Amino acid sequence: MSDVTVVMSAYREDPDLFRQAVDSILAQTMPDLELLIALDDPGNEELRHEAEGYAARDSRVRVTVNEKNLGLAASLNRAVSCCSSKYVCRMDADDVALPDRVERQLAFIEAGGYDLVGGGLDVTDGAGELLYHAQRLPQSPEAVRRALRWNNCVPHPSWLGRRWVFEQGYRQIPLCEDYDLLIRTALAGGRMANVSGAVLRYRMGEESISRSSLYEQYLYMRYLTKHYARGRAVDVAEARTWVAERLDAGRSSRYLRANGLFNEAMGCLEGHRPFGLLALLLRIALTSPAYVNKMFRLLMASLQ
């Protein structure tokens, strides 16, 4: 039995992107791993055919098919319940893991005695072209604990951790299930860290950029950080009520526009275009004060 099970929940991803994601795991420099593909759309015959084809060709691949669409959180919980390995590694079905990702993270988590580790991302567009690097992350457990007071600082697509962390279960905190699990792990005494450098290429397609739920996600993040600062996890029902009372269509629209400007600004930063960067930052400030607060939180988390 392998020490590491890579859990990949797939829904309606493009088959070509799905193949790239799977191939990047099967080509890891640490070949002794298991890949568990959890299909969350039982009617997606094309993706099921692809997944089962991999399982037929490679004994390291297992496939589970949900009887109905469960959503990402519940699908991951069901997949984790099928794991018996010491470590669980998260992988999205449209990202590309760098060749030494699992080997590097496994060595890091065992050397430090950590419970969960993440790593940096090379953020790409839908076609796989590099947009910017997201690699300024707190590395020590102490820094991660401090950074969690401001923002999610262990990127979910990069997680590799001990099985007990995942067995706590993702809760139905819309859009912030991963942040909630990080906070509960920290409150339970878990030691979390990030390896230096990137571990995967994170694909940010048009849907990621244009989804109207970004402001709602920001509100949940604020509620989670407020309670974490008080040393407790949130009550799910209370969190939903708090967010629902503050949702506003106008603010949501402006926050979404600011997010698009922010991604352009990151491209300017990556391309060393300071004047374009400053102009975009000014436009963000004039567009959405909430997004300015989000940027401040990102900055504070990165400085811990």
Helix (H) or strand (E) holding 228: helix 214-229
Domain ranges of the chain: 4-208, 209-299
Percent of all residues in the chain with a pLDDT value above 70, rounded to a whole number: 98
Q: Does residue 205 have a pLDDT over 90?
A: no
The 10s digit of each residue's pLDDT in 91-111 is 999 999 999 999 999 999 999
Q: What is the pLDDT of residue 208?
A: 58
Q: What is the pLDDT of residue 149?
A: 96
Q: Does residue 206 have a pLDDT over 70?
A: no
Q: Are 36 and 26 in contact (CB under 8 A)?
A: no
Mean pLDDT of the chain: 94
- Three-state SS letters, 113-166: CCCEEEEEEEEECCCCCEEEEECCCCCCHHHHHHHCCCCCCCCHHHCEEEHHHH
Q: Does residue 140 have a pLDDT over 80?
A: yes
- Helix/strand/coil for 5: strand
* DSSP bridge partners of 39: 10, 65
Q: Does residue 1 have a pLDDT over 70?
A: no
Name the more confident of 50 and 204.
Answer: 50
User: How far is Cα 250 from Cα 230, in angstroms, rounded to an integer?
Assistant: 31
Helix (H) or strand (E) holding 65: strand 61-65
Q: What is the pLDDT of residue 212?
A: 76
Domain 4-208 has CATH 3.90.550.10: yes
Q: What is the pLDDT of residue 127?
A: 87
Q: What is the pLDDT of residue 159?
A: 98
CA distances (Å), 165 to each of 80, 88, 117, 276, in order?
A: 10, 9, 11, 42
Q: How many helices (H) and strands (E) does the chain have?
A: 13, 9
**Stretch 251-272: mean pLDDT:** 93
**Stretch 231-235: mean pLDDT:** 96
**Stretch 23-29: mean pLDDT:** 98
- pLDDT level of residue 270 (50, 70, 90 thresholds): confident
User: How far is Cα 104 from Cα 126, in angstroms, rounded to an integer?
Assistant: 26
Q: Does residue 256 have a pLDDT over 70?
A: yes
Q: Does residue 209 have a pLDDT over 80?
A: no
**Stretch 275-301: mean pLDDT:** 96
**Stretch 5-21: mean pLDDT:** 95
The one-character DSSP state at 303 is T
Q: Does residue 17 have a pLDDT over 60?
A: yes
